A = this chain, B = another copy of it.
């Protein structure tokens, strides 16, 4: 059976970039050289990638700065023993362009794709910090729920069948279905390994050994996870970011920018909403571990709970408003009757369930989160993680999936 041609493949000559190459690359294009200012030897290139997969270079010149991100043909935090298609740089750039066209306020500007290097150039966000770090510090972001609900409502609604003619939608599904290596990675590390005896797994041990055992043996829990996995594999509701955790969001007190959509694909909307909400849930349960004698973090815990609630409420209001103002004829609200209401209820349930799955994988699988890792006392850390675990299992077992829609 033949395959559709891959839209992009890194060339054979492709090698990991070193700082001097990065500067050379930028020097080749006048608009980048001008933006940095001065000359090549004045530019300072720093590799800052703290993520798990790629190289990220910040290039600073006398007048400005830029970011170059490159995909390696393997998982960076593991090494060459775990290959992963460097095609993902192409899909990340495609998705950044799409997101930037829909919500320019909340996405760094994508500037140029570099096919020879499986890399691209984008706006340098400064003085933004990673949201996860801000949440660990206990910083209040007043516009966060507003901004994130806008990002999710605009990107999910406007790439869905509610607003996109079917030929265009299916062409885009064709394109992003080639980003399958990243989908396979998600299926493995989120929906599979935490519920198996996998060598990538780890947890705070021995404190959580009993719960790790529950994940491996509870058949009812496994059923719920399998349903989510199957939904992830067979549903193409919208173009997802695909990795929308609090480490993929950069913030100041007034701005919110979403980075790193390399896992972009057409999938169930609840997977993105759940990723974000699940990471807020972890931020919440980790706060006791960050309490100090002068700050018991109770106020901040209340702030995070409000974030969760507000994010969903604003998301729902914005999504429904877009639907009301700009649906294709067949999905127009006056004709859709009860369908819209059913859809939004199912989406809420999906989101909660995916949030729970996202939480469990961060406590028992590969790639743990700083929220819990930063708690130095292991008993205290495990106590926080235990609460998050029990809460997630409870959600999965008690959100009867709505089967229609």
Q: A166-B187, A180-B170, A338-B223 are in contact. Are A405 and B5 (CB under 8 A)?
A: no
Of B1, B5, B161, B234, which is within 8 A of A230 by CB? Answer: B161
Of B167, B230, B404, which is within 8 A of A180 by CB? Answer: B167
Asked if residues A175 and B2 are in contact (CB atoms below 8 Å), the reply is yes
How many Å from the CB of A274 to the closest CB on chain B? 16
A227 CB-CB contact with B under 8 Å: yes
Contact partners of A405 in chain B: CB under 8 A: 227, 230-231
Contact partners of A403 in chain B: CB under 8 A: 346
* Interface size band for A: 35 or more
Please report which residues of chain A, range 156-206, place their CB below 8 angstroms from some CB of chain B when the two chains form the complex. 161, 165-167, 169-175, 177-178, 180-181, 183-184, 187, 191-192
Please report which residues of chain A, range 217-260, place their CB below 8 angstroms from some CB of chain B when the two chains form the complex. 219-220, 222-223, 226-227, 229-231, 233-237
Asked if residues B339 and A227 are in contact (CB atoms below 8 Å), the reply is yes
Chain A, 292-308, contact with B by CB distance < 8 Å: what is the 0/1 string?
Answer: 00000000000000000
- Count of this chain's copies in the oligomeric assembly: 2
A337 CB-CB contact with B under 8 Å: yes
Asked if residues B223 and A169 are in contact (CB atoms below 8 Å), the reply is no
Please report whether the interface of chain A is mostly helix, strand, loop or mixed according to DSSP.
Answer: helix
Contact partners of A235 in chain B: CB under 8 A: 234-236
How long is the Cα–Cα vector from A183 to B183 in the complex, in angstroms? 25
A31 CB-CB contact with B under 8 Å: no
How many Å from the CB of A185 to the closest CB on chain B? 10
A98 CB-CB contact with B under 8 Å: yes
The 9 closest A-B CB pairs, nearest first, are: A174-B177, A170-B180, A4-B175, A219-B337, A161-B233, A173-B177, A4-B174, A167-B180, A226-B339
A residues with a Cβ closer than 8 A to B are: 1-5, 7, 94, 97-98, 101, 161, 165-167, 169-175, 177-178, 180-181, 183-184, 187, 191-192, 219-220, 222-223, 226-227, 229-231, 233-237, 330-331, 335-339, 342-343, 346, 400, 403-405
